[in-house]
Structures are given as structure tokens and as C-alpha cells.
């Protein structure tokens, strides 16, 4: 779906992904962009395509593009009214395919308010408990980086985690090529744990002919790249294994700091 020149209702969504997030700068890394790995078409099947990717991905600094995210407008928690894919800037702003303007929702109704869910391919998504009305003039701010914007939670799942003074989405819901897709929970140990898919991805890379555990898979847009630096690493500096453990330990529900705790996505 490209820009048809129509002024659709918009929301000013802001979110941080913990994988590439750096608390000292309150920005996310944009390695996938600088390595030229972000696809021009949304990976979520919603059809958005960047008309001029070379220009959009040339932007550096705080508004540089980190990756695609999927935003759903919902009512009553579970009813998905419409979805749109947006581009995520380093400072957390979710924008449209021009890389600049707030994300628009062609499927949103006039004068209607929605709960907002934000999802990412290798993070656990979250859902606001509050309702927001998309606007063609002044898009309301849906700031998921602050704890004062409540998100849906249950006894077994919270929507986000703290990182410094900000809230981020849980990282580490990995997959193995297209054979095993992220399953909306993060586990470091036990059946179908996310750490295993990082190891498998490294061991079974076509170029890892000696099946080395510390082999580095360079320059990939991959479900096993937890920290989103464009490499899949199981052992050694900047590995994608340790962040899965840290993610599990970061849940406020993991009161015993158990390594086999499972973090579930908090979206009903
Ligand atoms: Ca920005
Ligand atoms: Ca998982
Ligand atoms: Ca990585």
C-alpha cells in the first residue's frame, strides 16, 4: 500500500524494542539500516512498501530507521479492527513509509477510539488498556516508552519491562529460518526455548562447514538476531544468547530470578 495522497487518521505511536535499545542514550541501534538489511516491503504481510527506500534509509541520527513494526487498532482487547505496518525510528517514533510522518490507518473509522497494540517480529508485543482516537490533524501520542501509559496485563504476563527509566518490549522471541517461527513467548531453558534457535541458526548456517559454536553469521535480517545488530552470534562478544537470559530475568513476575521462567506476550 503506497501513499495515495489521502489524509488518513493517524496516531503518534512511540515504542522501544529492548534488543537494540541503549539506555544511556535512550535510542535504539540502527545496524539493520546501516547494513542495508531492512526490506522495502513490510515483513508482516500488510502490504506497505517504501516508495523510495534509498532516501528513507539514508537518514541518520535520531530519526534513522531501526526496523518495521506492526500496529493494530483493537476494541474490547481482542477485536482487531485494522492493522498497519510502520517504520520505527531510533528515538521510538513509529512513522509511515515516508519515514517521517506519523503512522496512518486507512481502515480506522471516523471519530472512533481504539486500543493500540504494537508488535515486532522478534519481540513480545503489548496492548494499551486505554483508548486513543486517530486524528487527521493532531495525532494523539501513544507513548509506550513510559510506565504511565498502561498496557494490558494478567497474572501470568506483563506487557513491557523496565530498562533504565524507560519501558521496552521484551526481546528474544526467536525463530529458526522460516521453519520455526517466534511463538509469542521468551524462554531461555526448557522445551522450545529461544536460546536453542540461536544455536541451531549458527550451527546450520550453510557457510559454517565445521559446525563451530562460535561461528558468526554476518549481515542477516534474521529471527535469531536478538540484539538486531545484523549478526547472529551464540558465543563471544555481542552474542544473541545472553540477551534472552537477561530478558527472562527482567520480568517483574520472575520474582525468584529463575532461568527457566517463561515470559509470555501480554495480548489477549
Ligand atoms: Ca523521531
Ligand atoms: Ca519464543
Ligand atoms: Ca545479533
214-262 pLDDT, tens digit per residue, is: 999 999 999 999 999 999 999 999 999 999 999 999 999 999 999 999 9
5-34 pLDDT, tens digit per residue, is: 579 999 999 999 999 999 999 999 999 999
- Distance of alpha carbon 83 from alpha carbon 71, whole angstroms: 6
* Helix, strand, coil percentages, rounded to 5, for the chain: 10, 30, 60
Helical (H) or strand (E) element with 200: helix 194-203
Angle, CA 51 vertex, CA 46 and CA 53 arms, to 5°: 100
What ligand has the least distance to the C-alpha of 102?
Answer: 1
Identify the pLDDT of residue 110. Answer: 81
Distance 172 CA to ligand 3 centre (A): 11
Nearest to 266 by CA among 257, 253, 108, 142: 253
Distance 14 CA to ligand 1 centre (A): 9
What ligand has the least distance to the C-alpha of 217?
Answer: 3
- Distance of alpha carbon 146 from alpha carbon 158, whole angstroms: 14
3-state class (DSSP) for residue 116: strand
Distance 192 CA to ligand 2 centre (A): 7
167-183 pLDDT, tens digit per residue, is: 999 999 999 999 999 99
Distance 219 CA to ligand 3 centre (A): 9
Output the pTM of the full model.
0.97
Q: Sign of dihedral through CA atoms 127, 131, 137, 139?
A: negative
All structural domains of the chain with their residue ranges: 10-168, 185-264
Provide the CB-side half-sphere exposure for 183 (13 A, CA): 14
Distance 238 CA to ligand 3 centre (A): 7
Distance 7 CA to ligand 1 centre (A): 20
What ligand has the least distance to the C-alpha of 172?
Answer: 2
* 196: confidence class by pLDDT, cuts 50, 70, 90: very high
- Distance of alpha carbon 1 from alpha carbon 120, whole angstroms: 19
- Distance of alpha carbon 76 from alpha carbon 5, whole angstroms: 31
Please give the distance of CA 148 from its chain centroid, rounded to a whole number: 20
Distance 88 CA to ligand 3 centre (A): 18
On average, the pLDDT of the chain sits at 96
Per DSSP, the residues of 45-85 read: SS--B-S-HHHHTT--GGG-EEEEEEEEEEETTTEEEEEEE
Distance 17 CA to ligand 3 centre (A): 14
Identify the pLDDT of residue 5. Answer: 56
Contact 26, 93 (CB under 8 A): no
Contact 92, 16 (CB under 8 A): yes
Contact 251, 244 (CB under 8 A): no
Distance 192 CA to ligand 3 centre (A): 20
Which residues are found with C-beta within 5 Å of the ion, ligand 3?
Answer: 225, 227, 229, 231, 240
- Beta-carbon neighbour count of residue 114 at 10 Å? 25
For residue 94, pLDDT over 50 is answered with: yes
Contact 12, 142 (CB under 8 A): yes
Cell 517466534 found at: 182
For residue 2, pLDDT over 70 is answered with: no
Distance 161 CA to ligand 1 centre (A): 22
What ligand has the least distance to the C-alpha of 227?
Answer: 3
- Distance of alpha carbon 226 from alpha carbon 214, whole angstroms: 16
120-134 pLDDT, tens digit per residue, is: 999 999 999 999 999
What ligand has the least distance to the C-alpha of 28?
Answer: 1
* 265: confidence class by pLDDT, cuts 50, 70, 90: very high
Amino acid at each position: 500500500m503506497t501513499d495515495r495522497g489521502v489524509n488518513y487518521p493517524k496516531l503518534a505511536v512511540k515504542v522501544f524494542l529492548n534488543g537494540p535499545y541503549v539506555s544511556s542514550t535512550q535510542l535504539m541501534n540502527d545496524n539493520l539500516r546501516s547494513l542495508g538489511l531492512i526490506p522495502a516491503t513490510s515483513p508482516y504481510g500488510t502490504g506497505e512498501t517504501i516508495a523510495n527506500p534509498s532516501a528513507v534509509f539514508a537518514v541518520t541520527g535520531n530519526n534513522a530507521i531501526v526496523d518495521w513494526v506492526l500496529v493494530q487498532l483493537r476494541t474490547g482487547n481482542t477485536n482487531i479492527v485494522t492493522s498497519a505496518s510502520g517504520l520505527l525510528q531510533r528515538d521510538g517514533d513509529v512513522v509511515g513509509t515516508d519515514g517521517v510522518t506519523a503512522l496512518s490507518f486507512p481502515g480506522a473509522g471516523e471519530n472512533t477510539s481504539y486500543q493500540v497494540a504494537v508488535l515486532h517480529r522478534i519481540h513480545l508485543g503489548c496492548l494499551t488498556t486505554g483508548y486513543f482516537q486517530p486524528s487527521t490533524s493532531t495525532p494523539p501520542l501513544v507513548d509506550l516508552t513510559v510506565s504511565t501509559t498502561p498496557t494490558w496485563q494478567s497474572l501470568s504476563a506483563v506487557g513491557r519491562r523496565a530498562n533504565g527509566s524507560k519501558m521496552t518490549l521484551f526481546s528474544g522471541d526467536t525463530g529458526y529460518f522460516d521453519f520455526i517461527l517466534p511463538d509469542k513467548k521468551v524462554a531461555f531453558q526448557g522445551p522450545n526455548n529461544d536460546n536453542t534457535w540461536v544455536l541451531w541458526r549458527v550451527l546450520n548456517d550453510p557457510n559454517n562447514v565445521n559446525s563451530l559454536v562460535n561461528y558468526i553469521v554476518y549481515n542477516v535480517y534474521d529471527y535469531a538476531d536478538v540484539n538486531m545488530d545484523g549478526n547472529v552470534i551464540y558465543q563471544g562478544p555481542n552474542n544473541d544468547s545472553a540477551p534472552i537470559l537477561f530478558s527472562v530475568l527482567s520480568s517483574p513476575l520472575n520474582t525468584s530470578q529463575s532461568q527457566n521462567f517463561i515470559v509470555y506476550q501480554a495480548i489477549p
